[in-house]
Every structure is written in C-alpha cells, then in structure tokens.
Structure 1
Amino acid sequence: MSGLFRVLDTVADRLVVPGYSKLGFQLRRRGWPPLLPGSLRGRKAVVTGAGTGIGKATALGLARLGAEVVLVVRDERKGAAARDEIAAAVPGAVVEIRLCDLSSSESVRRFAASLDRLDILVHNAGVLPQERTETEDGHELTFATHVLGPLLMTDLLRPKLAASSDPRVVLVSSGGMYTQRLHADDPEYREGDYRGATAYARTKRMQVALAPLLSERYAQDGIGVHAMHPGWADTPGVAGSLPGFHRLTRTFLRTAEEGADTVVWLAATTPAPRSGQFWHDRRARPTHLLPTTGETPEAIDAFWQYSTSAVGLLP
C-alpha cells in the first residue's frame, strides 16, 4: 500500500461515512491480491449466525475457498435455505447445519461436544433487542449472545482448535463500538435506561476487548484470535433492527459479501495476520477514536474476571 493510498484510507476510516460505506470498500479493494482458490481445502470452519446476512456471506466465501462449513443457526429453516444457496453456488461444497443458541450455556456446551474437529471459528451471531431481556441463565441477552456465548464456545473448542495446523478465531464486531467505553462496572446493563442499540454497541466493544485477552490465553496453542468490523452492510438484521438507519443509508450500504470480505480474508490469508488486533477492510485499525472510551488495565481485568466467572471458566 503506497503512502498516499494509506493516508486516504485512514482519512476515509476516520470520517466514517466514506470508510464504512460501499465507497470505502470499492476504493480499498483495488490494492488487494486475490485469495487463492482451494486455499482452505481440507479445513473445517464454523460460522455462527450463518442463516442470513454477513454470516451466510462468510460461509459462502469460505466454501468457495474449499472449506467444509458448519452453519450454526437458531432457525433450522433459515439454515436449510442458506445451505441450499451455498450448495447451488459452490457445487460439491460440504455444508452442515447445527442448531445452537449462543445465549444459552447448555446449548453452547452441547454444540461444542458434537464437533469432531475444527480449524476456523467465526463468531458472527448477533441480536439487538428493543427491551432488556434476560436469558435462561440470568444474563442480559446481548451480553450473553455477543460475549459469554463466544467466550464459552471458544474455550470449549480450544482442544480441537489447538489440534489444527493453523487455527483461527474471528469475532465479528461493529463500528458502533467506537461510541462506547468498556462498561466493566455494569456489563449486564442493569443501570440507566436500556436502549437496544446502546447495548449492542457496548457488547461489540467487549468483543474487541476480548480479542487480545483470548489471543494471550491461547498463544501457547498457536490459536490466532482476531476482531473485525464489516462496515455498513445491507443485511436483514440492519433492516429489521435499525429501520431508520437503513432508510437513510441504503444507497451507500455494502453488500453482505463486501461486509464479510475481511472475515474470509482473516480466515484464509497467508501468512496468518498478527493475533489480537482489530481489523476493517483487511487493515488493522485503532480500537479507540474518542478520548472518552479508553479503558484502564483495572477495567479490562474486571471485565475478564466477570465474564469468565459468568460462564464457569478459570480466568
């Protein structure tokens, strides 16, 4: 990447609209080398929330590179439709459907025990409730789905990932996390007026905080852990959960495939990207843009201690 192009890329990223929209993707992709066909042949990938949107597009991208793909969904009908669509686009692709609710520790444990092997784990499943809801385990729904479920699943699958020759974990976050600090003092959003979009952004900030923590935890196993955000993509989730935002930005939204590009790249590019970083459009990005969102080591430790305790893991 030339110096001028890097400057333009950074400016677009900081201005948000040009960087997160399809304009930013189309500008940046011109300098990207293609991923090699068959580069994931023989590798097994799990994608959560794979029934629609970026999850489905990620699964399709991985299948195109030769991976065997497990679609992890809550809705079997959507999973079957996604499987059929991927099979039609990639003749000969091996695609499975598994049911799992990331907000339920029992469901996560059952799913993890069912897998025989694993090379790539993509945490994409997401929710955006309008009212504060608690799960069967007694946790706030977005926190359980975006943080506790992925944390538990990754740790349970650690032995299978460690057995891979090149294991990788990707957390699909959101650019909205830039607006929030790490709420280690109230991870379950018990204080103040609950807003679904705020809860979503808070937990997406937590996912970004998890990446370096998990990277360090699994370093001895050679497991790379990456966080990324897809920019603004036109997905059923955005249209249904944020209709006003969708109406205002629809002309500039990326396709789901464009939003998923960096996920697929993180899973397939060689050599493996540096673990523990935050990515957007195939480039490592800063984790903070506002002075009010910075976190202390004490806050990070409190968040880690609370989260591991909530799912019954040793910190």
Structure 2
Amino acid sequence: MTGVVAGVVDSVLDRAIAPGYSVLGFTARKHFWPADPPAGALRGRVAVVTGANSGLGKAAATGLAELGAIVRLVVRDTAKGEKARAEILARVPGAEVRVDRCDVSDLADVRKFAEGLTGPVDVLVHNAGVLPPSRTETADGHEVALATAVLGPFLLTDLLAPALRASADGRVLFVSSGGMYSQPLRMDDPEYREGEFAGAKAYSRVKRMQVVLAELWAEELRTDAVVVHSMHPGWADTPGVSTSLPRFHQLAKPFLRTPEQGADTVVWLAASAEAGRETGRFWHDRRVRPTHYLPWGKESEVDRQALWAYCRSATAACRR
C-alpha cells in the first residue's frame, strides 16, 4: 500500500471513530504502520507501569518485558499484582518483574513509592485510571478520577524527574482515551463539584487533562532530554470497560481490541527510535493524532497554565 493511500485509509478510519477505534482499525493499520522496535530494545532498562495488574497495564508490562525491560508493576492490591507477575513470567520466562504497592490516587502513597525507587527510570507509564459511578473523594479531598489520572501522575512525574533525567533515553507516557475528544479542559470546575455528576464525563474530563499535561511536561522536561507523550488505545476489552461500561461492553464486544492490541502503541512509544525524536504528541496506532477536531473546543493558554498551577498546588510538589 502506497504512503498516500495508507494515509487516506488511516484518516478515514480515524474520523469514522467506530472503525478506527475497534479491532478493525488495528487490523487495517498494522499493515502499514512503523516497524516494531528491535528485539531487546529495552534490555536492562527500568519501566514503571501504574495500574499494571490487569487490562492495558498488564498488557503493556508484558510487552515491555518482552523487549527486555526490568518492569515495576505499580498496583493497589499486591495479591493481584503477584498474580499478574506470574502471568507475565509464564509468557516471558526469565523476565525481571517486580510488584510495588502504591495507590496512585493517594498522594502520600505516591511520595512513599517514589522515595523507595533508586537509580534511573527509563520508562514511566501512567496507566492507572478509574471511572467512578458517583462522586467520591480521596483522603486528600480530591475527586477520585482526578486524583488517579491527573494529580497522582503529576506528582509521580515530578518526584521521578531526577531518575528520568538520569536515563539515557527517559520517556513518560500517559494512557489517555479517545473519550477526551468529547470534553473540553474544565478549569472552572476541575474537581467536578458543580452539576449532576456523571462517571463517563468525569473520566473524559481527566483524560483531556492528561493530554494537556503531557504537552506541558514535554516542555518542562525538554532540556533534560526526557520525552513525554500521550496516547489512546481505542476500544479494548478490559476489566475496567466491562465493569464500568457494561452496556457498551455487551454491544461492542465483537469489535473490541484485545488488551495487547490496545497497549501496542504504549510499548512502541516506550521503545521505538521514531517516538524518541519528538515530544509532547498525542498518538493512536503508532501515529500522531490531533488533540482537537473542533477548533472552538481548543483550550486557552490561560487554562493550560491554570491546570499546571492547580496540579502544583494540589500536590504540593517540590519544584526541581
């Protein structure tokens, strides 16, 4: 398939949403997307993956282990983490996989975990997320979806910045969602205190925030040669989808991607030379995607900086 034809097919799939986000899009694109990273591309490198005991997180951790990474599974439940570790080792015998307990929504937990890490961190994957059925707050007083997908990752990135700088090729990856296209950046109500709470809307809002934060972190860490990207996995058949969106899962199940297919771009971004040549981009199926399709939904620079300031204040993160 020529480059022009491939680009047209890819764009049509992307704009059509359902075909592009489903297994159909994955199957079509893999015939013309960039090559896989070489075997052993991450040998000896340390990869930290949050929310790694199931779904996309476990699939990403497995893919990273297959490329030789030393993988740290960051989980809330160590029993589930050990089960995931055993499953990864069954698939990748001899891999070095460790389990770390940390609730990313708990800022004290994040600090404790970061303090316990020594040496360089080469890959940091922010995968943990939650779609809450009702509005609840963490012990720190933050809405739980925001704390899990935005504040915890912000603090962890800040605390691990020295370890990422110590890497020869540090990379930070945010696993966002195509649902972020449905929501603008809401800095007038970041904690979702106004109006009737809807879990899917809260999830999409924080996924939009992740994409903006990836761009801001990319600029913050650019002089340190640390690459930061965000991506969305399309529609994947994960425990989170089946539990939080049971009706959607039932209707779409024949067309959902496997967790491995959803996590493919995470692994590729962590290891490919192409992804290391730029920073601050939003990806899907190994290709850069627009962060907005409607120009009037684009956030202002004032709101972008307000998000950064809010995260700084809410996490009390120390400036480097």
TM over 0.5: yes
Q: Is the 8 A contact 2:63 2:267 kept in 1?
A: yes
Match of 1:303 in 2: 307
CA drift of 1:314 comes to 5.8
Match of 1:288 in 2: 292
Which among 139, 145, 160 is matched to residue 136 of structure 1?
A: 139
Match of 1:61 in 2: 63
Q: Is the 8 A contact 1:178 1:290 kept in 2?
A: no
Match of 2:20 in 1: 19
- Paired amino acid for 1:79: G
Q: Is the 8 A contact 1:162 1:221 kept in 2?
A: yes
Match of 2:212 in 1: 209
**Residues in 1 aligned to 2:203 and 2:132: alpha-carbon distance in whole angstroms:** 9
CA drift of 1:35 comes to 2.1
- Paired amino acid for 2:52: A
Match of 1:257 in 2: 260
CA drift of 1:304 comes to 1.5
Secondary structure at the counterpart of residue 135 of structure 2: coil
**Residues in 2 aligned to 1:107 and 1:292: alpha-carbon distance in whole angstroms:** 38
Match of 2:50 in 1: 48
Matched, 1:7 2:8: yes
**Deviation string for 1:286-306 (max 9, x for gaps)?**
001234421111111112111
Q: Is the 8 A contact 2:36 2:272 kept in 1?
A: no
Q: How many residues align?
A: 315
Which among 104, 110, 113 is matched to residue 112 of structure 2?
A: 110
Secondary structure at the counterpart of residue 30 of structure 2: helix
CA drift of 1:273 comes to 4.2
CA drift of 1:148 comes to 0.3
Matched, 1:176 2:179: yes
**Deviation string for 1:206-239 (max 9, x for gaps)?**
0000011001111111110000000000000000
Secondary structure at the counterpart of residue 31 of structure 2: helix
Q: Is the 8 A contact 1:181 1:292 kept in 2?
A: no
Select between 295-304 and 197-206 the one with higher mean Cα deviation: 295-304
Match of 1:198 in 2: 201
When normalised by structure 1's length, the TM-score is 0.98
Where has structure 1 moved over 3 Å in runs of 4 or more?
none
Q: Is the 8 A contact 2:214 2:228 kept in 1?
A: yes
Match of 2:72 in 1: 70
Query: What CA RMSD, in Å, does the superposition of the two structures yield over aligned residues?
Result: 1.1
**Deviation string for 1:39-95 (max 9, x for gaps)?**
100100000000000000000000000000000000112111110011111111000
Match of 2:189 in 1: 186
**Residues in 2 aligned to 1:189 and 1:160: alpha-carbon distance in whole angstroms:** 33
Match of 2:163 in 1: 160
Stretches of structure 2 that go unaligned for 5 or more consecutive residues are none
Match of 2:221 in 1: 218
Stretches of structure 1 that go unaligned for 5 or more consecutive residues are none
**Residues in 2 aligned to 1:312 and 1:2: alpha-carbon distance in whole angstroms:** 48
Match of 1:81 in 2: 83
Secondary structure at the counterpart of residue 148 of structure 2: helix
Secondary structure at the counterpart of residue 172 of structure 2: strand
**Deviation string for 1:260-295 (max 9, x for gaps)?**
000000000014141101000000000012344211
The percent of aligned pairs where both chains have the same amino acid is: 58
CA drift of 1:7 comes to 1.1
